[in-house]
Amino acid sequence: MSRADIAEKILARMGIAGAGDGVRDEDGWRPGNGPPIVSVEPTGAHEVARIGSCDRDDYDVVVEGARDRFHEWRARPAPVRGELVRALGAELREHKEALGELVAFEMGKIRSEGLGEVQEMIDICDFAVGLSRQLYGLTIASERPKHRMMEQWHPLGPVGIVTAFNFPVAVWAWNAAIAAVCGDTCVWKPSPRTPLCSIATQHLADRAMARCDAEGVWALASGGADVGTWIAEDPRLPLVSFTGSIRIGREVAAKVAGRLGRSILELGGNNAIIVAEDADLDLATRAIVFGAVGTAGQRCTSTRRVFAHAKVVDELLGRLTRAYSTVKIGDPLENGVLMGPLCSEASVKAFEAALVAARAQGGTIVRGGEVVPGGGYFVEPTIVRAPRQEDFPIAHDETFAPILYVFSVDSVEEAIDAQNAVTQGLSSAIFTESMRHAERFLSPIGSDCGIANVNIGTSGAEIGGAFGGEKDTGGGRESGSDAWKAYMRRQTCTVNWGGELPLAQGVEFV
């Protein structure tokens, strides 16, 4: 069976035939008049589909539709809006296997991680349905007699969602499920590297919308950088949620800020695990291997740096090397495979370039380091023993590949300083049995990242917490906790139920 046939078969299991259209709004699917998007699966590097994309006119029609729909959608009670998200969750439950396999096929993460990504969508739907009855505001004591002051949250408007290739479906769901219960409509521009994943997801969303008389709440505007730029510059979209690299995120942030819009930025990470002298090395090894090798190092939360105490670094390197030698590389849909390919030729080149730099800067490759020959974008998971981080500039970059830099340190304090010495601030972890080390790491003088874990690796967050990072990672928060507030506008209301008109701060004006 050809690779294109496999894609077609997976889509057919979800009841999707002929996935060539790239634009979907309230009026249905159409190809779009923009340049075609080519889906290349990374396992064999074969073209598997060509999909239409938006030109400027298509894009304007989609955004106008989202605006019109918003005016009606915002007036529905939030728990009724929750019914749409409940229906989406049901579609995802029914098609979890097929959608998860499509993610594995087109993006390259292994099947189990593909299914995990769809489970994350289901989880956020459950969370959002509950949230639809909990969009709470505060009641605040007024200083004036017979006055009541309160805060309420209203829908904001249509949201532009721009997503990255590595979580081709879950990141849309994090945004779309929360935005929908908050009363917002959405225009999604997915990564052009994973168009089939977004088209399949949109088809499942279509069925949920049809069931809830909610056509047009979630729209799809496929395309490349141009569509992303239109979203960033578009004043009709008061909020832009952007997930991607720091370089592009910086451009998007400037454009959105230039029109005084709001953005949620979920950008690159450079995540570290600290292994203290007293760490449980068995736990630490397993967490590091999952964090560094999982998704072939292509998670924003992938473990890229390890700071191990000098007394345990050799033992840890030995354990990591042995564990790496058992990692089976291959077709992500095959049983037993733990690491699939990188997503593109450009990613393979970035892997090679980072290792050239690492060697030139004094790093030693302890394990891996090679491109795997024979078609597809496969590389070996790689461990580099690194000199001091200040002498090793390559460790400051996020190379989206399975490269792990291991540093030796003399104390937890030194490790925390080194961990924080990069510009990114997404995820971090410490392995220790010491309460003092753990609490220092979590304290204001500890990790400066948006995520800080103790005896858990850097990747694999749950949806219940707010997800995101500090510094160049962008400061955005998505998913659980009170991240929903970014999708709504806050209103402070004061009601005077007395017969006088007292002024605040005791001001008299008679």
Report the catalytic residues. 266, 300
State the minimum distance, in angstroms, from the CB of residue 139 to ligand NAD. 34
DSSP state of 386: -
Please give the single-letter amino acid code of residue 274: I
Nearest distance, CB of residue 499 and ligand NAD, angstroms: 54
Residue keyed to tokens 């087109």: 106
In the complex with ligand NAD, the residue whose CB is nearer, 183 or 450, is: 450
Pairing type for strands 147-155 and 488-496 reads antiparallel
Q: How far is the CB of 417 from ligand NAD (least distance, A)?
A: 23
Q: Which residue is nearest to ligand NAD (CB)?
A: 228
Q: How far is the CB of 173 from ligand NAD (least distance, A)?
A: 13
Cα(309)–Cα(277) distance, integer angstroms? 5
Half-sphere exposure for 76 (CA within 13 Å, toward CB): 22
SS3 (DSSP) at 429: strand
Tell me how far apart the alpha carbons of residues 311 and 75 are, in angstroms, rounded to a whole number.
62
Distance, CA of 22 to CA of 311 (rounded, Å): 55
Q: How far is the CB of 201 from ligand NAD (least distance, A)?
A: 14
For ligand NAD, the closer of residues 245 and 361 by Cβ is 245
List of residues contacting ligand NAD (CB under 6 A) = 162-167, 189, 191-192, 224-225, 228-229, 232, 243-245, 248, 251-252, 266-269, 300, 398, 400, 426, 469, 473
User: Inter-axis angle of helices 3-13 and 96-107, to 10 degrees?
Assistant: 160
Nearest to 429 by CA among 471, 458, 389: 458
- Closest contact distance (angstroms) between CB of 202 and ligand NAD is 15
DSSP assignments along 188-204, one per residue: EE--TT-HHHHHHHHHH
**Residue placing its CB nearer to ligand NAD in the complex, 112 or 229:** 229
Alpha carbon distance, N-terminus to C-terminus of the chain: 86
Distance CA 321, CA 362 (A): 20
- Taking the least distance from each CB to ligand NAD, the nearer of 408 and 424 is 424
C-beta closer to ligand NAD: residue 123 or 398:
398
Q: In the block, which residue shows the tokens 């390890």? A: 306
Q: Which is nearer to ligand NAD, 251 or 278 (CB)?
A: 251
